[in-house]
Structure 1
Amino acid sequence: MRYDDEFLSIPHVIRLAAERFGDATALIDGDRRWTFRELKDQMVDAVRATVALGIKPGDRVGLCAPNSAEWIFAALGIHGAGGVLVPLNTRFKAQEISYILRKSEAAAVFASPFLGNDYVGELRKADPGLPALQRTVSVLGPQGTADRSWNDFLGAGEGLSTSAAHESIDRLTPDDVSDVMFTSGTTGHPKGVLLTHGQSLRAYGWMAEEYTFRTSDTFLVIPPFFHCFGYKAGWLASLMHGVTVIPMAVFDAGRALDLIARERVSILLGPPTIFHDLVNHPDRAEHDLSSLRVSMTGGTTIPESLIRAMKTELSFDIVMSAYGLTESTALVTTTRVGDSEETVAHTTGSAIPDVQVRIVADDGLDVPIGLDGEILVRGYNVTRGYWDDPDATASTIDAEGWLHTGDIGRLDDDGNLAVVDRKKEMYIVGGFNAYPAETERLLLGCESVQQVAVIGVPDERLGEVGCAFVVADPEHPTTEAEVIAWARENMANFKVPRHVRFVDQLPRNASQKVLKDELRAGFTAVG
């Protein structure tokens, strides 16, 4: 089924959902609830207000707010007016946000104070001439330094007819750009990835069907909405299939357990750290988790022991893993229902329909099955390019349409992809290529290692060697020498970390990716 043919655009999803699911609960945020019909009305009001704000088709609009009902309303309003959404990382500082708003030539910014940050106020200090500051809307809470509160914003749209809002939505097509999603900037300034309505609808409509989303489900969405994981695999995929959405602004394992039990949550997707924290929470056994049904985790190595714990301790029937990057609408491969724990733990499954995956050597030629190389992707999910950056686009997507991911992986005989590491994170130990993600996966087999991140560090004799930052299992205390001795027993010598540093927790960003630059900056040799 082609979901981009059925839904046409993201706002069209909400209109059809209102017809199909009516008075069923679409959205829960705290003690507030909206049916699918009420969600459609909220969207139409936001579209009217966004048009009244002066946003024209094609205008980019920044959105910086925590996971919330209002984030969804604002996004739908921007889309429905024909605008292009620019989601902003709520952990970014003013200078980082200013760069993205200037680069995307944003015409307005919707924001909300969060975690002590007044984004609009900080932007006014850091970059007072920023064009987006000519139209600022406070999405949540008090108006603060924004030009308009959310209620004032909606009130200004009352002069526009409802029919005019629907006409604006009707002009959208699957080929229209819906978002400019800025990458994390790990290799320099963030780059804006262009994605269309149709790409997201086709990919995540299929994903939700494959993952067995159904109208009786409730999805607690923990990954941030500024990332495709929370936005497209989260609330968008849910609303397409009549699933109730519960946004969670800040992850807290205890509060998540309360919500799961109270609201009978059945779907929970996220990075492994979320499930690890739930499994190990001291109050877990006091909560009824029997409603949990579907999960997907990815973005890092997954020990088989965690998959088993997700099924036995958290009651999941289905545990999946997947791989994607922003430039591929964040979905390339996924395991399938019924795959073994070994397949889920050690691969990210096979390519989604109508998408191709190749593994190539440095010379661009395909490597044999089972050998490592760069992952290339081609299909409808690949971005049209980077915003206002033709050189970066040309260096990433070749003339035949293949996206060069910069990730290292291998395919097995069944077409399942194992992601070995980022090409740029590889280090060379005495002439041997070492991939941190592979070493991390192996180290997770040590009962003393609860979490781990590996980086390459300088070494006088070998050039580079591995350093493992380990969160130890408190029930199995260990030492640096013991971890290294275990590694020597279980992996090739060049993969064995020469240094082990014990930490209470690994530094992570809002998407729960480990901040390896912080680990590198904090590394000091001992002895």
Structure 2
Amino acid sequence: MPALLRDAAERFGDHAAYREGDRTVSYAELLRLVERTSAAYGIASGDRVVIWGPNSIDWAVAALAVSYAGGVLVPVNSRYVGAEVADVVERTSAARVVVHDGFLGRDQVQELRDAGVDAGVVTTLADLMATEAAGAAPADVTPDDVADILFTSGTTGRSKGAMSAHRQTVGVARAWAELGGVRQDDRYLVVNPFFHSFGYKIGIVVGLLTGATLYPLATFDLDETMRLIEEERITVLPGAPTIFTSLLNAPGREERDLSSLRLAVTGAAVVPVVLIERMRDELRIDQVVTAFGMTEAVVVTMCREGDSAETVASTNGRAIPGMETRIADNGELLVRGDYVMLGYLDDPEATAEAIDADGWLHTGDVGTLDEHGNLAITDRLKDMYISGGFNVYPAEVEQTLARLDGVADVAVVGVPDDRMGEVGKAFVVGTATPDDVIAFAKERLANFKVPRYVEVVDGLPRNLSGKVLKNELRGG
């Protein structure tokens, strides 16, 4: 990553790397900011740094400075509450925690303090950026060193940190950029959050590889998105299907000139064929593709330019260079290749369970491959559902709700939602009211994990072994 940043500064120089409001940062200036910030960190090689905040130029600088200083980047969800971040800080033994304080009107620093995080390791993003320090030389890191740890929940409700090496983070971004044909003259609106691999690796790192100009968006605002596309002539817009559904149905869209869009990449949920057709016909996007990825492998499959609307909507494309796919006897999708994670942080058992002796990552998804190798996800072995592009693991939500007085038993499933794809529905046994359950969840979980619906029931359907029959709940 440090070598990539220096190469980008040399290749693209004064070309704009980022634009945010009235602020523009060139690739050469980006390197200077990163050099200064990496010195301000004062961290040793291998130290882990947690960054908690929404998309911004400063977030990108802070993240790249971690790599430049030889540290390991640990991004966390901007919508997390303090207790969720504190868990990651503790488990990574983070040397520093960088916080965008005040985001969405919250006091994140106080939340961390209340959650027991040592104040000595916490700094605000604003203070970090204001720290005067002489520019540091890049740390001596190798392609095989760990570059980042991205946390994802497991079906047990216990989050796991997927570790990637520098060569993997750079390599998967390069493969995606080449398949998408991203160029220096592209203007890339980054709606995907930087804390997610789709925003960080397929956003920030793709920018360094291609010289494209990135426009970070802190929160998805429909009017602001349309204004930026029209006024800045945005050409590249990856995102969850929700983004494009919202754009197509936006009041006043017909009065906007969104014709500059040439590349859209979507996925993370089932994509209706009609959505792909409308993206091409009504938004006039030249190249619309879908892809499949996961935190443990970032990008696995991707459609190619020229694929039919049917192929794009009904499949996630074919394996990208460096990756391979196969379907196990039980229908589970297995993936193997250059970009499968190194393993889970401090969890050899979970790593061995996920990656078999032959190097195949067991995804937990049930899928099919057609004669061309195009992947279609048909079901989930796990109960995970996707809400607005974010994975939600019911076991984690259930464990949280089980701590509420008045909840004797609870099960959470994903139910269809026109806007979000899926949202949570909690089935609760006990005396707690639906309002009690939602209020309790909002205090302890990120908003996308909070159940949208709560139904109080007399009991949960279970099989003879005691497992909750969630298919019955989904049908109810």
Same fold by TM-score greater than 0.5: yes
| Residue 135 of structure 1 pairs with residue 121 of structure 2 | yes
Partners of 1:419 and 1:281 lie apart in 2 by: 29
| Residue 399 of structure 1 pairs with residue 361 of structure 2 | no
1:195–1:305: structure 2 CA closer, same or farther, 3 Å change rule?
same
Any conservation in 1 of the 2:367–2:378 contact (CA below 8 Å)? yes
| Residue 78 of structure 1 pairs with residue 66 of structure 2 | yes
Matches within 5 A, 1:27-106: 27-50=18-41, 53=42, 55-106=43-94
User: Pick from 414, 432, 439: which aligns with 2:372?
Assistant: 414
Correspondence for 1:273: 242
Correspondence for 1:377: 335
Q: Give per-residue Cα distances to partners, 1:240-299, cap 9 Å, x unaligned.
A: 101000000000111100011111100000000000111111121222111100000001
Any conservation in 2 of the 1:46–1:76 contact (CA below 8 Å)? no
Any conservation in 1 of the 2:172–2:299 contact (CA below 8 Å)? yes
Any conservation in 1 of the 2:68–2:138 contact (CA below 8 Å)? no
Give the superposed CA RMSD.
2.6
Correspondence for 2:309: 341
What residue ranges of structure 2 are gaps of 5+ in the alignment? 395-410, 420-441, 458-472
1:405 counterpart SS class: strand
How far 1:151 moved relative to its partner? 4.5
1:469–1:19: structure 2 CA closer, same or farther, 3 Å change rule?
closer
User: Pick from 202, 207, 212: which aligns with 2:171?
Assistant: 202
User: Pick from 277, 285, 292: which aligns with 2:261?
Assistant: 292
What residue ranges of structure 1 are gaps of 5+ in the alignment? 1-9, 141-148, 363-372, 427-435, 441-452, 456-463, 473-508
| Residue 19 of structure 1 pairs with residue 7 of structure 2 | no
Answer 1 or 2: higher relative contact order, Cα 8 Å, separation at least 6: 2
Correspondence for 1:433: none
Partners of 2:268 and 2:295 lie apart in 1 by: 12
Which amino acid in the other structure matches residue 39 of structure 1? L
Which amino acid in the other structure matches residue 356 of structure 2? D
Partners of 2:129 and 2:30 lie apart in 1 by: 16
Partners of 1:79 and 1:350 lie apart in 2 by: 31
Aligned length: 412
Any conservation in 2 of the 1:239–1:245 contact (CA below 8 Å)? no
Q: Give per-residue Cα distances to partners, 1:471-511, cap 9 Å, x unaligned.
A: 49xxxxxxxxxxxxxxxxxxxxxxxxxxxxxxxxxxxx9xx
Partners of 2:78 and 2:450 lie apart in 1 by: 19
How far 1:355 moved relative to its partner? 1.3
Computing the radius of gyration over CA atoms, which structure comes out larger, 1 or 2?
A: 1
User: Pick from 319, 323, 329: which aligns with 1:355?
Assistant: 323
1:269–1:470: structure 2 CA closer, same or farther, 3 Å change rule?
closer
Correspondence for 2:299: 331
Q: Give per-residue Cα distances to partners, 1:148-173, cap 9 Å, x unaligned.
A: x1344x21x23xxx4xx2242xx122
Q: Give per-residue Cα distances to partners, 1:82-108, cap 9 Å, x unaligned.
A: 010110111111111111110111111
Which amino acid in the other structure matches residue 343 of structure 1? T
| Residue 150 of structure 1 pairs with residue 138 of structure 2 | no
Partners of 2:223 and 2:348 lie apart in 1 by: 46
2:198 counterpart SS class: helix
Any conservation in 1 of the 2:82–2:111 contact (CA below 8 Å)? yes
Correspondence for 2:97: 109
Any conservation in 1 of the 2:2–2:138 contact (CA below 8 Å)? no
Any conservation in 1 of the 2:290–2:303 contact (CA below 8 Å)? yes
How far 1:422 moved relative to its partner? 1.9
1:166 counterpart SS class: coil
Any conservation in 2 of the 1:333–1:417 contact (CA below 8 Å)? yes
Which amino acid in the other structure matches residue 363 of structure 2? T
Any conservation in 2 of the 1:407–1:419 contact (CA below 8 Å)? yes
1:95–1:167: structure 2 CA closer, same or farther, 3 Å change rule?
closer
Q: Give per-residue Cα distances to partners, 1:422-451, cap 9 Å, x unaligned.
A: 21239xxxxxxxxx99xx9xxxxxxxxxxx
1:187–1:514: structure 2 CA closer, same or farther, 3 Å change rule?
farther
1:405–1:470: structure 2 CA closer, same or farther, 3 Å change rule?
closer
Partners of 1:339 and 1:268 lie apart in 2 by: 18
1:403–1:291: structure 2 CA closer, same or farther, 3 Å change rule?
same
TM-score by length of 1: 0.74
Q: Give per-residue Cα distances to partners, 1:116-162, cap 9 Å, x unaligned.
A: 222221111121xx35x32222114xxxxxxxx1344x21x23xxx4
Any conservation in 2 of the 1:112–1:118 contact (CA below 8 Å)? no
Correspondence for 1:308: 277
1:468–1:21: structure 2 CA closer, same or farther, 3 Å change rule?
closer
